[in-house]
Amino acid sequence: MKQTTFASLAYTEKKKQTRRERFLSEMEKVVPWSALLGVIEPYYPKTGRRGRQPMPLETMLRIYFLQQWYALSDPAMEDALYEIESMRRFAGLELCEDALPDETTILKFRHLLERHELTGQMLQVINATLEERGLLLKGGTMVDATIVAAASSTKNRARQRDPEMHSTKKGQLWYFGMKIHVGADVNSGLVHTAKVTAANVSDISQLPELVREDDRAIFGDKGYVKNEYKRNARRVGVFWGVALKATKKYPLTKANKRFNHKMSSIRARVEHIFRVIKRQFGYTKARYKGIMKNATQVFSLIGLTNLYLARRALVT
């Protein structure tokens, strides 16, 4: 048992619960902690440097999730643990009783997840939990993609941009970075499959990787138009709900526009995933160099987004 400090008692007796506290309280209840810890535990060191005990695994995982929810760098996360009581409590740390991890310890834990590609497994564990609760169903998939910008400056030691990132044109604007491709359940709007590529990779090229074998319907925007896929889908009895694209020779008819409007209203739920990742969790720019490092973070964010969107159903 940890000794309760006066500062901790004063915090407990405060009159108002903040939005951060409410959010962390909800996520405390919905994250499948034991299952996620089981994924990481075989790779986590049993002893630290010079025989010292490493930080508890659950504490480090909680800190890692705090970084994702609040878009904190390793140094900013260390500072937050010293400054913000609600974050310390979520991590299970007491300011005057426990040694708080420094930015190097936080960095090493992130590198551990990257080295063993554990966040992809963590996403699978989260989705398995959602399936058990009947919140991630099979039958239909919505596909979509979003661009995440990367640093385009060449004012660095190598005098070049990240070679794994590329440029792409959307509308009249050019973007440099990577692209997140998702396949989401049409019933719940939760992501079941995710891929991360350079920004110049077309949406349609990733479609076969985003649908499930037992899907009976596919919904997507005009970026997924391909007659070959459409014919194959209809041949095996899969509903093709991809928006129709107008051409100069064949403009859209009123019936075509009604179809597009109806399909858009169905697949609109997939946009909530990107809203949470970019607006709620603040992930608007690639933080690291290379696709793999950023994909590690993206898989974490998608898993946490699934839990966030399903939180009310999970706590009932």
Where do the structural domains in the chain lie, given as residue ranges?
Answer: 6-116, 137-288
pLDDT of 274 reads 97
pLDDT of 192 reads 96
pLDDT of 316 reads 78
Pick the CATH number of 137-288 from 3.20.20, 3.90.700, 3.30.420, 3.40.50: 3.30.420
pTM: 0.91
Burial class (CB in 10 A: 0-12, 13-18, 19+), 236: exposed
- Reported residue count of the chain is 316
pLDDT mean values, one per 10 residues, the chain (316 residues): 58 78 96 97 83 85 98 96 94 87 95 97 97 90 96 78 92 93 95 97 96 94 94 94 91 95 93 96 94 97 97 90
> Cα separation of 175 and 164, whole Å?
14
Residues with Cβ within 8 Å of residue 55, at least 6 apart in sequence: 99, 101, 105
pLDDT of 97 reads 81
Residues with Cβ within 8 Å of residue 44, at least 6 apart in sequence: 54, 57, 112
pLDDT of 33 reads 97
DSSP-based three-state secondary structure for 198: strand
pLDDT of 98 reads 80
pLDDT of 10 reads 61
